[in-house]
Amino acid sequence: MADAPVDSRPAASFNEAQQRHLLASCQYIDQVLAEALAMLTAAASPSPFTRYAADTTPAQRKVIQDYVEDLRRQLVRVLASVGLSPAPSRVGTIGAIRTHLRFISIAIEELKPRHMRGYGELPQATAREVEGIVEELHASLRRFDAYLAQGLAADLQARVSRLTPDAQTELLGRLERIIDRHSLVEFRPALTMILDRLEDQRFEIAVFGRVSTGKSSLLNRLLDTDVLPVGVNPITSIPTRVVYGPDPLVRVSVAARAPEIVRIDRLAEYVTEAGNPGNTRRVTRVVVEIPAPVLEQGVVFVDTPGLGSLATSGAAETLAYLPRCDLGIVLIDATSTLSPEDVGTARTLIEAAIPAVVLVSKADLLTETDRTRVVEYVANQLRDQLGLDVRVSPVSVRPDHLALVERWVADEIRPLIERHRDLTHESIGRKIAGLRYAVAAVLRGHVDHVSRPARAAPVLEMSATDSELRAMATTFAETRAVCHEIVSQLPELAEPTIARVAERLLEIRLAGPRVSPDAVTAALARSVDDRAGPLVAEIRARLQRLARTAREASVRLETAPGADPVSEAAWESLVVEAPRPDVGALALDVGAPTRVLGRRLAHASLVRALRRAIGERVFHALSSYATVLRSWTTATVDRLQEEFDAKAVALRANSVTTADRRSPDDRDAVLADLEALESVATGEVTSGHGT
């Protein structure tokens, strides 16, 4: 039957206010209709909190939906009759859902004991239980939000299909289908992490060094190009990543703007102090793409600013970058001495558990004898100051000395890259095997569940396993909060630090003719260590205790049956050394010794002079260090919690309330998938070979 003719009265018969009222009324009616359909969905939902009873038949639901669609078509015709149409959709669904998750996060936060006390005092044991509840809910919400944040990358099936076929990827595809078919969202983060590792097995090499040590020149030589700007001007606080690309170009990310692509000859405009003084362009990330053969093999080079002082711009960003590189190269100028900054850079890399090598650049300026002597001197100094043997090699970018670079690449870099690939492949195989064991354990639990007699309502009592998992969630939350509280004390140490510096300088000042700037720098560095050291040691001790507690709980719970247990050393390795404070060098003259004043008055006078000269710098250095240390603390707790959750995911997914979502009709499908998983040989998963 044809639609009736549309009323063709002109829109002018309604004024603007009347048009808005009509449009708003139609939108409201559509919203109420949407809520009516949501009632049907809610009634059929397995949610234990639904308000509506499932009292409609499938036929009735179909007719109701038809009536709703008929009313909506009528609304469109009404608007068309006066020259209007529904407003186009402007809000993305994913963005809207993520906004709603923020509201949920606030509601969860308000369950914390300090908010619950308004309804009555909580016993201490109950308060700890509530902290665990809040942490569990936040963890689930974070996983949900992380999935939404992936956008198109969340299509795991499409990502698996693009991988090179082998035994590992075939099993991964099977796991993805099973996880999707049985709504095992608990395993999606683990699957996503494995896919991330398979898709990006690049080896990142970051190059550090003082100004004019030849970092960019060395990278240009390794890449057989001249794209990186060279010279004595310091670069800004933006690490420059060089990756493989078929065409030379630069991708620049600027704060509050979409990334832009620029010609490669404009790189200096963004990464040099001359082209971008003080980072006035607000650049946050620079990626250079060039078709260099070494990059095509999966290597990524990163040209970084020196770490320098924590009170200077860029140091915190460089420290935050460190955990992402696989090898750190510290470049030292052969014509200058080994400086505290060079040693500090190497120490920072080692304490971040990153392999470090040291290169003596401009080795062409030395004779072969002097070259050997300088390399031995640097190696001995690093051994004495760091307590470790660090590999030191001479290099030069001069055409007549390229053999030095080639020898270093062959002896040091290529073996590391090959070993990295082998270890990555083995690690991925173990993670896939662990995921297979965990998913199979959950499927077995579902088979057991549907084989038991039906019950009227789910059993919601907390088991001993659930209680221990919640207790661990509480422990993670408490450790994170206590460590952050300790970190917040660092800026308050500025005055005690200055007083301690004055004490040290007074000893030197009264004993000699003059206090050198180097002595001031050394006194400040030692005083910061004295004051901050105990706080950092306490944080590290708490994190190490958390690692032991998490490991003991994972062993006690026998998580992921059949999977290889994580060794004690592996758990301890998750707590790497904390970054150390570094206040940089000072150009400060405290004057000649004063013997007229008594010691107490001299100390007070020196404290006032230091407060004026370096007080603000010390405060900002400690504040910057607090920011870096807080990030390190958060990252460490997150690593430990992710490791524990990865081992405990099977237990969480196989809890009573989760199993209750399965019905007897699922039994055959679950058995078929379980048989498919258990038929895979473990050796095939780890090695990647087989069919």
DSSP one-letter code for 563:
S
Q: What tens digit of pLDDT does each residue of 204-227 get? A: 888 887 766 777 788 888 888 877
Say which residue, 28 or 594, is predicted with more confidence: 28
Instruction: Note the pLDDT of residue 308.
Output: 45
Q: What tens digit of pLDDT does each residue of 617-663 get? A: 888 888 888 888 888 898 889 888 877 876 676 666 555 444 444 55
User: 76-90, 502-516, 642-656: which has the minimum mean pLDDT?
Assistant: 642-656
In three-state form (DSSP H/G/I as H, E/B as E, the rest C), the secondary structure along 632-663 is: HHHHHHHHHHHHHHHHHHHHHHCCHHHHCCCC
Reported pTM: 0.60
Q: What is the mean pLDDT of residues 607-626?
A: 84
DSSP one-letter code for 409:
I
Q: What is the mean pLDDT of residues 453-467?
A: 55
All structural domains of the chain with their residue ranges: 11-88, 204-397, 464-654
Instruction: Note the pLDDT of residue 233.
Output: 47
The fraction of the chain above a pLDDT of 70, given in percent, is 78
Instruction: Note the pLDDT of residue 235.
Output: 55
User: 284-293, 296-305, 380-389: which has the minimum mean pLDDT?
Assistant: 296-305
Task: Say which residues have a Cβ less than 8 Å from residue 489's Cβ, sequence separation at least 6.
Answer: 535
Q: What is the mean pLDDT of residues 574-593?
A: 65
Picking from 350, 315, 305, the residue whose alpha carbon sits closest to that of residue 621 is: 315
Residue 472 has pLDDT above 80, yes or no: yes
Q: What is the mean pLDDT of residues 496-505?
A: 85
Residue 477 has pLDDT above 60, yes or no: yes
CA distance 34 to 41: 11
Instruction: Note the pLDDT of residue 317.
Output: 47
Query: CATH assignment of 204-397, given 3.30.360.10, 1.50.10.10, 3.10.20.740, 3.40.50.300?
Result: 3.40.50.300
Q: What tens digit of pLDDT does each residue of 385-411 get? A: 888 888 888 888 888 888 888 888 888
pLDDT band at 6 (very low <50, low <70, confident <90, very high): very low
Task: Say which residues have a Cβ less than 8 Å from residue 658's Cβ, sequence separation at least 6.
Answer: 186, 652
CA distance 338 to 377: 9
Q: What is the mean pLDDT of residues 304-314?
A: 47
Instruction: Note the pLDDT of residue 313.
Output: 40
Say which residue, 90 or 602, is predicted with more confidence: 602
Picking from 438, 411, 409, the residue whose alpha carbon sits closest to that of residue 186 is: 438
Residue 543 has pLDDT above 90, yes or no: yes
Residue 321 has pLDDT above 60, yes or no: no
pLDDT band at 512 (very low <50, low <70, confident <90, very high): low
**CB of 397 closer than 8 Å to CB of 214:** yes
Pairing of strands 283-290, 249-254: antiparallel
Q: What tens digit of pLDDT does each residue of 246-272 get? A: 888 999 888 667 778 989 888 888 887
Instruction: Note the pLDDT of residue 542.
Output: 94
Q: What is the mean pLDDT of residues 412-419?
A: 83
Picking from 639, 674, 685, the residue whose alpha carbon sits closest to that of residue 430 is: 685
Q: What is the mean pLDDT of residues 458-475?
A: 71
Q: What is the mean pLDDT of residues 6-33?
A: 76
Instruction: Note the pLDDT of residue 236.
Output: 53
pLDDT band at 516 (very low <50, low <70, confident <90, very high): low
Instruction: Note the pLDDT of residue 463.
Output: 63
Contacts of range 267-271, beta carbons closer than 8 Å, 24 or more positions apart: 267/227, 267/228, 267/229, 267/240, 268/229, 270/236, 270/238, 271/229, 271/235, 271/236, 271/238, 271/240, 271/303
Residue 310 has pLDDT above 80, yes or no: no
pLDDT band at 7 (very low <50, low <70, confident <90, very high): very low
CA distance 378 to 113: 55
User: 65-79, 156-170, 565-579: which has the minimum mean pLDDT?
Assistant: 565-579
Q: What is the mean pLDDT of residues 276-287?
A: 79
CA distance 646 to 607: 52
Instruction: Note the pLDDT of residue 488.
Output: 92
Average pLDDT, the chain: 77
Query: Scanning the structure block, which residue is given the tokens 């209680």?
Result: 467
Give the distance between the most distant pair of CA atoms in the chain. Answer: 111
Phi, psi of 53 (to 5 degrees): -85, 145
Instruction: Note the pLDDT of residue 458.
Output: 44
Say which residue, 624 or 150, is predicted with more confidence: 624
Residue 562 has pLDDT above 60, yes or no: no
Say which residue, 482 or 507, is predicted with more confidence: 482
- Residue 32 token pair: 């109420």
Most confident of 24-38, 136-150, 607-621: 24-38
Burial of 95 (C-beta count, 10 Å sphere; 0-12/13-18/19+): exposed
